[in-house]
Each structure stands twice: as structure tokens, then as C-alpha cells.
Amino acid sequence: MKTILFSILILFSINAFAINWKKVAENKVGNYYVDFDSINNHDGLVYYSDLVNFIEPFKGDFSAISKYKVDCVKEKQTWLAVTTYSEPMGKGIINSKSFPNEAIYPKSNTIYFFLIKNLCNYKK
């Protein structure tokens, strides 16, 4: 059983840092990266992944990778999944994994408002 759990943890950790992250923003919380290869536009919806490296660790988390769905017309972002890690850049041990399915309407002049505006216009 321990071997299976260890293998799963390794697979998720490898997946986290094997992605091609590009830095897109920073603020007092941390540095924000988007995996442009993960962007998928479909019927007015954009799916993407981001990674946040925290400036100060939060409850043992040094980074988090989240997956989102964006409704470009309504400027609504749905937080589909988040995985937190014990090291920067999605490396180390997975501390937690959750599926909030939480709708967010980012306010103007925020990182996520900037992101959804640009991602809705992004063409691969």
C-alpha cells in the first residue's frame, strides 16, 4: 500500500514540474505562472492551469497549482481544483488536494482579472 501511495505522489510531483510554466505576474502573495500549453478554448470557455509560488509559506505550503474554467462572456472564473506543495514550483510532497468548484468574479486591477482578459483572447 505504501508503495502505491508513494508511486502516485511521485507521478503527481513529476507532472507538476514537467509543465512549461511562464511567469505572468507577481504581487505581495507571490509569483504567478501559467502553463500556456494547458490553455484550451472551447465554446466560449477557457480552461487553464496556474501555479503560485508563495513569498511566505502558508501552513507549510510553498506553492499551489490550480485549474480553472473561465466564462469569457460573464467574466466568471470557476476554481476547479487546487493542489498544494511543500516546495516551490509544484515540487516536493503534495500537502493537500481539493476541488472547490467555486465561482469567482475577479475585480478589475487584480491579477486574475488581468489573466482572464488575456486568456480569453489567447490563440495558440
CATH of the domain at 20: 2.40.128.710
37-54 pLDDT, tens per residue?
A: 999 998 889 999 999 999
Yes or no: say if 70 and 120 are a contact pair by the CB < 8 Å rule.
yes
Burial of 16 (0-12, 13-18, 19+ CB in 10 A): buried
Q: How confident is the model at residue 6 (pLDDT cuts 50, 70, 90)?
A: very low
Q: Looking at the DSSP assignment, which residues form a beta bridge with residue 79? A: 68, 102
How many domains is the chain built from? 1
Domain encompassing residue 70: 2-120
pTM above 0.85, yes or no: no
Q: How confident is the model at residue 13 (pLDDT cuts 50, 70, 90)?
A: very low
Q: What is the pLDDT of residue 14?
A: 40
Q: How confident is the model at residue 57 (pLDDT cuts 50, 70, 90)?
A: very high
Q: Which amino acid, one-letter code, is at 61?
A: D
Distance between CA atoms of residues 62 and 6, nearest Å: 20
Yes or no: say if 32 and 48 are a contact pair by the CB < 8 Å rule.
no
